[in-house]
């Protein structure tokens, strides 16, 4: 079958690889001039089944209200975007009731764990490096933070294979000695030994190289602005340079899938949620961190990626505005300085790059993988804050669905048609 994949982020590139591996003839279209240039570009780097709980936890409504108008809040809602969020927002809040939240979290956990096993199989088979490390992720707090919702969920996540260990400060420092300078401030630590980390953009580049060798055609610098629909099918996608036709289409263009769903006359179940990161060279630091640390007091993750330290966080409902607010960047720098006072960047003050990206969040907090409507349109999107973690498994799952294989996961759990009536 001839298949067009729209979007060359981590989802589109993995989809191209798995579809080509099934014998399909695949073209990937992207408006950027290389792969991984939007949300995949500088994310937090975590491959974390342990962070599978969706953001619409039962307390989300209260938190949004509490943070309203606060510029340094980890969760921020711009009043100007409220009109774009009304229908979606009501569903987002409705889906935060406890039973729904737990069900969604467990679906995400199953997908994330499947994804890590797909990634392991690929690492064993393909020339992939992407600064990948197993070894775990640490969560620390200067207060006691465990939320009731996550306490209840943890047992069920453990049954699925997400291990967690509460650490004493001594145990924490033996796993991550770089936290020694702040030992006096630390109150609690949890270790997720099976979590992993790596550079998503580098992974997209490496899988792109493999996919190209398998015959996948990549069409860059090409924005899709329109499509021609015929009942449930797409007939062709259209951009400034012409039309692109195939037997089937995979919509993998991140938050901008919203526009495609709306062109197909479906009310879109996804919205963009903005986040930021800074990347700074570790320079001459003699004892850099070995593992990512989630600072639970600020909801920021700080990850060592090769020779840089990356800090990522904040969730802002700001529509499609991905400009950089330097107050947010200053906040990330402040969090890094609080964790690692010895990092050289605090001395030279300036050597860092700042980035903002748009997570694509579905209103029930679960990914959309599979057929859209009843025709030749498929999607892989809406994985929210854990999209890098879920990408390989989502793409493998989609390739099974399109090819008529035997998916490991239950397709109903991620079916886009839970939102789209046809
Ligand atoms: C601050 C931040 C930190 C994060 N940290 C983590 C983390 O630690 N772990 C984790 O698992 N996930 C994390 N994520 C989420 C993760 O980065 C995303 O879920 C993932 O990168 C999404 O990949 P994608 O391929 O769907 O989208 P994208 O990478 O955005 O790719 C979509 C592609 O579609 C193209 N495109 C869009 N519209 C069009 C069009 N009309 N025509 C042509 N091309 C188009 C774009 O150019 C882009 O290349 C983070 C996200 C953010 C913002």
Burial 313-323 (b: 16+ CB within 10 A, else e): bbbbbbbeebe
Q: Is 49 in the pocket of ligand 1 (CB under 6 A)?
A: no
pLDDT at position 342 is 82
Q: Is 11 in the pocket of ligand 1 (CB under 6 A)?
A: yes
Q: Is 43 in the pocket of ligand 1 (CB under 6 A)?
A: yes
C-alpha 32/C-alpha 7 separation (Å) is: 9
pLDDT at position 145 is 55
Burial 374-409 (b: 16+ CB within 10 A, else e): ebbbbbbbbbbbbbbbbbbbbbbbbbbbbeeeebeb
pLDDT at position 227 is 98
pLDDT at position 150 is 59
C-alpha 279/C-alpha 307 separation (Å) is: 10
Q: Is 299 in the pocket of ligand 1 (CB under 6 A)?
A: no
DSSP letter assigned to residue 126: S
Q: Is 37 in the pocket of ligand 1 (CB under 6 A)?
A: yes
Q: Is 5 in the pocket of ligand 1 (CB under 6 A)?
A: no
pTM of the model: 0.96
Q: Is 108 in the pocket of ligand 1 (CB under 6 A)?
A: no
Q: Is 32 in the pocket of ligand 1 (CB under 6 A)?
A: yes
pLDDT at position 219 is 98
- Give the residues of the chain that fall short of pLDDT 50: none
CA of 166 to the centre of ligand 1 (A): 32
Q: Is 328 in the pocket of ligand 1 (CB under 6 A)?
A: no
CA of 377 to the centre of ligand 1 (A): 20
C-alpha 261/C-alpha 266 separation (Å) is: 5
CA of 386 to the centre of ligand 1 (A): 10
Q: Is 20 in the pocket of ligand 1 (CB under 6 A)?
A: no
C-alpha 10/C-alpha 387 separation (Å) is: 9
Burial 17-49 (b: 16+ CB within 10 A, else e): bbbbebebebbbbbbbeebbbbbbbbbbbbbbb
Cα–chain center distance at 262: 22
**Tokens representing residue 65 in the block:** 């209200």
Cβ–Cβ under 8 Å, residues 201 and 42: yes
Cβ–Cβ under 8 Å, residues 95 and 56: yes
Total residues found in the chain within this entry: 422
Cβ–Cβ under 8 Å, residues 369 and 416: yes
CA of 47 to the centre of ligand 1 (A): 14
Nearest to 249 by CA among 230, 267, 221: 230
Atom of ligand 1 nearest to the CA of 387: 19
Q: Is 270 in the pocket of ligand 1 (CB under 6 A)?
A: no
For atom 19 of ligand 1, the residue with the nearest CA is 387
**Mind listing the domains of the chain with CATH numbers?**
2-418 (3.50.50.60)
Beta strand pairing call for 196-197 and 188-192: unpaired
pLDDT at position 153 is 86
C-alpha 267/C-alpha 414 separation (Å) is: 17
C-alpha 380/C-alpha 394 separation (Å) is: 7
Q: Is 31 in the pocket of ligand 1 (CB under 6 A)?
A: yes
Q: What tens digit of pLDDT does each residue of 106-143 get? A: 999 999 999 999 999 999 999 999 999 999 999 999 98
DSSP letter assigned to residue 133: B
Cβ–Cβ under 8 Å, residues 279 and 307: no
Q: Strand ranges (DSSP E) for 124-223?
A: 137-141, 165-167, 188-192, 196-197, 217-219
Alpha-helical runs (H) found in 70-168: 82-94, 98-125, 148-160
Q: Is 30 in the pocket of ligand 1 (CB under 6 A)?
A: yes
For atom 44 of ligand 1, the residue with the nearest CA is 30
Atom of ligand 1 nearest to the CA of 357: 53
Atom of ligand 1 nearest to the CA of 256: 38
């Amino acid at each position: 079958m001839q298949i067009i994949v729209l979007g060359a982020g981590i989802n589109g590139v993995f989809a191209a690889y798995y579809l080509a591996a099934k014998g399909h003839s695949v073209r990937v279209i992207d408006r950027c001039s290389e792969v991984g240039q939007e949300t995949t570009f500088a994310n937090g780097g975590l491959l974390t089944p342990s962070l599978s709980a969706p953001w619409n936890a039962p307390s989300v409504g209260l938190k949004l209200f509490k943070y309203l108008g606060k510029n340094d809040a980890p969760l921020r809602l711009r009043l100007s975007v409220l009109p774009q969020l009304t229908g979606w927002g009501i569903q987002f809040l409705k889906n935060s009731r406890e039973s729904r939240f737990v069900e969604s979290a467990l679906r995400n956990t199953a997908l994330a764990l499947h994804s890590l096993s797909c990634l392991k199989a690929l690492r064993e088979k393909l020339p992939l490096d992407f600064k990948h490390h197993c070894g775990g992720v640490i969560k620390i707090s200067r207060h006691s933070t465990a939320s009731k919702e996550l306490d209840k969920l943890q047992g069920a996540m453990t049954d699925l294979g997400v291990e967690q260990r509460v650490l004493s400060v001594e145990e924490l420092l033996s796993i991550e000695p770089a936290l020694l300078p702040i030992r006096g401030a630390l109150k609690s630590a949890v270790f997720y030994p099976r979590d992993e980390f790596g550079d998503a953009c580098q992974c997209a580049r490496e899988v792109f190289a493999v996919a190209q060798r398998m015959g996948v055609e990549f069409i860059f610098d090409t924005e899709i602005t329109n499509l021609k629909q015929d009942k449930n099918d797409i007939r062709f996608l259209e951009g400034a340079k012409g039309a692109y036709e195939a037997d089937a289409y995979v919509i993998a263009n991140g938050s901008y899938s919203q526009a495609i769903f709306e062109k197909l006359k479906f009310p879109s179940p996804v919205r963009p949620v903005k986040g930021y990161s800074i990347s700074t060279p570790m320079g001459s630091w003699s004892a850099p961190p070995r593992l990512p640390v989630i600072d639970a007091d600020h909801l920021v993750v700080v990850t060592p990626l090769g020779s840089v330290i990356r800090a990522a966080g904040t969730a802002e409902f700001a529509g499609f505005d991905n400009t950089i607010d330097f107050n947010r960047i200053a906040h990330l720098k402040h969090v890094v300085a609080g964790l690692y006072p010895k990092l050289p960047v605090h001395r030279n003050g300036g050597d860092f790059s700042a980035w903002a990206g748009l997570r694509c969040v579905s209103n029930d907090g679960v990914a959309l993988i599979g057929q859209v409507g009843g025709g030749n349109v498929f999607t892989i999107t809406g994985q929210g804050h854990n999209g890098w973690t879920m990408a390989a498994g989502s793409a493998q799952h989609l390739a099974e669905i399109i090819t008529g294989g035997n998916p490991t996961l239950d397709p109903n759990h991620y079916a886009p048609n839970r939102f789209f009536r046809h």
